[in-house]
Structure 1
């Protein structure tokens, strides 16, 4: 199930224990946020995980900001 306003983010109890992931993948939002916090760039993340794109990384950041509000 994708989230209203966050079509690139999905939560499914059968995938990664229901943690938010990039829709259609098992790449968890928390893992990408940790990589970004550790200094990785969006381009580096896309290089390491070619099944996601920079728009997915931006969507994960937007999702995190929405949760913080």
Structure 2
């Protein structure tokens, strides 16, 4: 399972600079909302095939780093 945050990007011109998945218009928050509604990662992928399982886990890892206060760079690999 890839949990690297390199799949998460922040681009001011996309989604108002919110964290997104791989430069697509998929905010991390939307994926977290789907997980919070009890969708499984595989259900999310089935409904949205442009996403990959590693994207889902990267969102979770990014959020964990964010709330833990750990420093990170979206360019770190």
Structure 1 length as normaliser, TM-score?
Answer: 0.89
Structure of greater Rg? 2
| Displacement of 1:25 | 1.0
For these two proteins, the number of residue pairs brought into alignment is 65
**1:19 matched residue in structure 2:** 18
Alpha-carbon distance in 2 for matches of 1:11, 1:34:
19
The answer to which structure has the higher strand fraction is 1
Superposition CA RMSD, Å:
1.0
Deviations 1:4-56 (CA, angstroms, capped at 9, x unpaired): x6110000010000000101311110000011011000001111111111111
Structure of higher RCO (CA pairs closer than 8 Å, 6+ residues apart): 2
Give unpaired runs (5+ residues) of structure 2: 69-77
